[in-house]
Structure formats: structure tokens, C-alpha cells
Chain A
């Protein structure tokens, strides 16, 4: 028990090593710093995938370990993207405006500059006034704080209301769906202050940076890898000690945890809020790589995908979440990007762009029914040889949860 954290969790070290290796290989093969085998756009895809892995780790913490099936964590991811997007858009527009006004004979007043920026940004929604939520958009520092603060506060308030009245299970899932739907619908409105369905765009262009996208894409790739590493470490540390015992206890039998004297609601609230903040950070790294964010990103289905990734990867083990998110999202890019060859059946042609979702849905059902441990369960086939035979085959009250390996983490 007194051994170091890493010694008790060898899988963490292995994961970090693989992540470092992956980062190195991509860098060496990239256009920006390496031999140019991997295109810049694919570096971006990989960087975005790392962000999705990070939000999947958060999802696994909240669902796989604490048993709260939140179907709203992509809302927090999107909010993180909006928060960083506001600064990116403001600052870049400001530079353009200042540049163009400097040609004028009379130097522009600060108000004129702000008005011109407002015109540029909000022209598409027929406005030129800065809504109050853009109050801090001129400060990178403040917007970075908002990246974690806004998702955190929203989760705190929402969670407090829900957990305090002991909303759990399916009802909580529905409530989180309602939350993300409400947020998306709100953002779709032109007067929401975030440019309605246009969203924020041009986010890939960093203000005051002259480096080409091939280089910038690598910066973000590294940043995403670093964030995933830190997030994974944090999550592994959280679930390893007594805190991990308590949250897994909450997942398996929350009444029992209560009678041991732990305030279940506070623990749930803490995990819900923390994972919302992690999701916010992941989103803030994702959208500058995507270049654009709009309210469709926050649609309820996005959060459901997140749960599907974690389920396919194997919930209740952190590397399972990462594997699931990486595998399914990359596969999804491949299928929906038109790269997958169509299948000619003679009488019908299966176009993957249309059929991918059906395949994903079937895989999800298949995993749920036949391989509840998900892809991460494959690891057990290998480690099973090293662990003694456990006589109680399925250890939990819920056959869908992963019991053995997660306790070893």
C-alpha cells in the first residue's frame, strides 16, 4: 500500500510512454518539423482525436467510475471551445481592424476600434454591439480562466440541483440531455451573443503568430497530448486511492456509502464539476484545431456519442475510454469523410457516409450485449495469465460494469 503511485499503477506509465512515443512519431513524420509524410490536416485530426480522448477520460470518471451517466458532457466541451474562440476571434479581428484603420488620416479612437471590431464580428447576425458576454474577450488570460470556470460553474449549479434532490439513473441522463439541448437551442439564436448558427470561425489563425499552419498544428498537437497526459494522470490518481474506493462504491451501492458516513451528493457534485472542467479544457484545445465552432457541436447527440465511445472502449478503465474515443472517432472520420470504399451489392450500393451510423449503432448494441468490458476487455485476455483465477466470475451487481481490471489500476 505504501508503494509509490506509479508502482501501484503500472498501466499509467505504459500509457504515458505510448503517448510520448506516438507524439514523437507524429512529429517526426509531420510537415512542420519532420519528413512530411503526415499532412497538416491529418496532424490536426490526430490532435483533435487526443482532445476527444481527454473528454472521454472525463466521461469515464463520471460514468465508468462514479456511475453517473451524464449525457451532457459535450456541452461543457463546447463551452470550453466557445470561451477560447471568443478571444481568438476578437483578437484577430482587432488586429485586422487596427491595420486597416491605421491607413486613415486621423488615428482612430479606442471606441472606434471596438465599434469596428463589433461590426466585423456581429455583422452576420445583423448587429454591431458587443453583448455583455464578450466583456472579457480582449483578455486571453481571462478567457482561459473562463474555459474552466464557466463549465465548472454550470456543472456545479446543475449538479447541485440534481444531486440534492437525488435525481439519479435514467432521470439524470435525461436531465443532462435537456441541459445540452437547451444550451444548443439558446446558442442557435442570433441574439444569444455568440453569432447564432454561424458560430465562431477562423479559430485556426492565431493572432500575432506568423508561423504556418503546419507548425501551429503541431503546437496544438503537443498541447493536446500534454493535456491528455496530465488529465490521465490526474484521473488515475483520483481513482487509485481511497477516493477511488468511495466513488466506485457510489457507483455500485450509493446507499451503503451513505451509511458509512460519506456525503454521496458532495462526491458526485465534485466529480461532475471536475470532469466538466476537464471537458472544457479539452474543448478549448479542440476547436482551434477544428477552426470553427457552432451550436450544432453541442447537440444532444454529441454527448451520446461520447458515452458510446466510452462503452465501446470499456468503461471503468481509463485506457479503455482513450482507446474507444480514438478508435471510434478516427474510424468515424474515415467513414464519413468518404474515404471508405462503397460496397457494391449489385442491387444496392452501401455508401458508408450514410451507413456508418447504423454500423456504429449496431456495434454499440453488440458491445453492450456481448462484450460489456468493451475493447479494453481484450487487455484482460493478456493479463489474465498473470492473475490468479478468480472464482467469482462476474463480481459486480451490474454485469455491465468492469470489475477486475479497474480495481487493479
Chain B
């Protein structure tokens, strides 16, 4: 399978502290990957690097068929290129309705002039309704997203991510604060999405990772400790020592 994202030899330090240490990672165009690791392993920082929020001290981040470097691009440009991100803490625009949130995320031209001239077409509105159905918010389209429950906000953010139609989804701890039933549906949405695009899921919950049924990358102290199937990595002695054994 061809590679969508290739991260090689990336290091990030904060005031001398190495949060990411010579990290390498690659993912194909339609692949699901779970990234696990103890708190402070550098999982969120890894996403920061890919999305352009944090500039690494060294290393390469290459994107797409043309192996374009993401390091010189702004956050907005990277997002436009097809990298979508869900934050650890649900971040939706609380003051705006679910519909407005989704419309803002829909894959449409992002320039200010195009946005000024934009009027949602029937098709766009239908798309929003479909998305809302998928994330279980059909009845909440006109509600302020600030009124939603924590789990619903998580979903809305996932919905916004899908609306962006990214080629790569970076999902940071999606199941946090969700009920078991909600978790199951989240898994289903992510597995479905991974059929046509690359999905990287950071998660603590092993049960959740097991259900994703995909290759697992274990991060520790900013570097890859092990990679492979869940059974493979959980039987790795290093992994047991630093993470699972605690």
C-alpha cells in the first residue's frame, strides 16, 4: 500500500526536555493505526508536529504521493491538504449550533472571499443532516453545541472531522468520557472511516484499541517502543515493563 504520511527522525524538545526523540512513523492511504503509550509519552506532541502546531528541531514529515514536506506549511494549509484533527479535550464552537459547527467544517473553499459568498446548497444541508445522523445528533442540529453533553461534544467533533473529508484523521483519545455504548458507536465510525482513509487513534483504553482491530504503535519517551498487532505488542517485554505492567 502506498504511504500517505511518513514521519522520519523527528525530535522535539521543550526547554531541553525531549518530548519526541528520533521518532519515525508511517501510515498508508487507507489504514487504521492505534497509538498507545503512557501519559507524557509524546502522543499529543506527535499530532502537534504533523498538524503544524509544533515545529520539530529535526526530522522530516512527508505527505502524499508527491512526498510534500509538511514542515514548511501553516496549520491552515496542512488542514487544507487533508489532515484533520480531533483534540483530546473536545473543542467545538460552543456558542454556535451543531449545524453551524458542521457547516464550518464541510469541505469547501476556505478563503475569506469564498466564505463570504458561500450560501449552503440543498446538497450541503443534506450532507450535514446525514453527518448528524451518523454521530447521533439528528435532533440537536439547531441546538447550541455548548449545551451538549461531553460525549455528544466528542461526537460533534468527530462529525466535524468527517465533514472535512480529510485523507488523514488524527484522533486524540476519542473515547474519553464516553459511556460503553457511545464507545462502541465511536469505534464503528472510526472503522468505517478507515476503509477509505488513514486514521490514527490515540487511546488509553485497551478494550477500545482491541475493538479497532488494527496495527498498534507503542510510544514511550518520545520514541517507538514496539509496533505490530495488539497481541504482539502486549506480549513484548519492554512494553509490559513500561506500560502495561504498571
Contacts and interface: CB of A to CB of B under 8 A. Distances in A.
A63 to B, nearest CB: 15
Interface string B63-104: 000000000001111011000110100010111110110011
Interface in B160-186: 160, 164
Interface residues of A, number: 35
Interface stretch (B30-38, B115-123, B195-203, B209-217): B115-123
A258 B75 contact: yes
A261 B112 contact: no
B51 interface: yes
A266 B91 contact: no
Interface in A183-220: none
B87 A261 contact: no
Contact of B146 (A248, A256, A396): A396
Contact of A395 (B79, B85, B110, B147): B147
B105 interface: yes
A227 B87 CA distance: 44
Contacts of B120: 1-2, 242
Interface string A250-266: 00110110111111101
Contacts of A406: 95
B188 interface: no
B127 interface: no
B144 interface: yes
A266 B164 contact: no
B146 A392 contact: yes
Contacts of B125: 1
A47 to B, nearest CB: 31
B53 interface: yes
A243 B115 contact: yes
Contacts of A270: 112
A327 interface: no
Contacts of B51: 259
A243 B97 CA distance: 15
Interface in A256-292: 256, 258-264, 266-267, 270
A395 B146 contact: yes
B78 to A, nearest CB: 8
Contact of A253 (B93, B99, B103, B111): B93
B61 to A, nearest CB: 16
B53 A255 contact: yes
Contact of B118 (A241, A255, A267, A407): A241
Contact of A256 (B77, B93, B112): B93
A153 B181 CA distance: 56
Contact of A252 (B77, B79, B93, B160): B93
Contacts of A385: none
Most buried by A among B80, B85, B146: B146
Contacts of A1: 99, 120, 125
Contacts of A403: 94-95, 144, 146
Contacts of A404: 144
A391 B149 CA distance: 11
B148 to A, nearest CB: 8
A390 B144 contact: yes
A249 interface: yes
A401 interface: yes
A337 interface: no
Given A1-B120, A259-B79, A260-B79, A396 B112 contact: no
B76 A249 contact: no
A238 interface: yes
Contacts of B103: 242, 245
A2 B144 CA distance: 19
Most buried by A among B51, B80, B100, B105: B100
A320 B90 CA distance: 31
A248 B112 contact: no
A246 interface: yes
A278 to B, nearest CB: 16
B79 A261 contact: yes
A397 interface: yes
A242 B146 contact: no
A404 B79 CA distance: 29
A225 B94 CA distance: 35
A243 B114 CA distance: 9
Nearest to A266: B112
A270 B160 CA distance: 25
Given A243-B116, A407-B95, A261 B53 contact: no
A256 B144 contact: no
Nearest to A390: B147
Nearest to A271: B112
Interface of B: 51, 53, 74-77, 79-80, 84-85, 87, 91, 93-97, 99-100, 103-105, 110-112, 115-116, 118-120, 125, 144, 146-147, 160, 164
Interface of A: 1-2, 238, 241-243, 245-246, 248-249, 252-253, 255-256, 258-264, 266-267, 270, 390-392, 395-397, 401, 403-404, 406-407
Given A264-B76, A395-B147, A406-B95, 20 more contacts: A242-B103, A242-B118, A242-B120, A243-B118, A245-B100, A245-B103, A246-B104, A248-B96, A249-B93, A252-B95, A255-B53, A256-B93, A258-B76, A259-B85, A261-B77, A263-B111, A395-B95, A396-B95, A404-B144, A407-B97
16 contacts: A243-B116, A243-B118, A245-B96, A245-B100, A256-B91, A258-B74, A259-B53, A259-B79, A260-B79, A260-B164, A267-B112, A391-B147, A395-B95, A403-B146, A406-B95, A407-B100
Which 8 pairs, one residue from A and one from B, show the smallest C-beta to C-beta distance? A395-B146, A261-B79, A392-B147, A258-B75, A403-B95, A261-B80, A263-B76, A392-B146
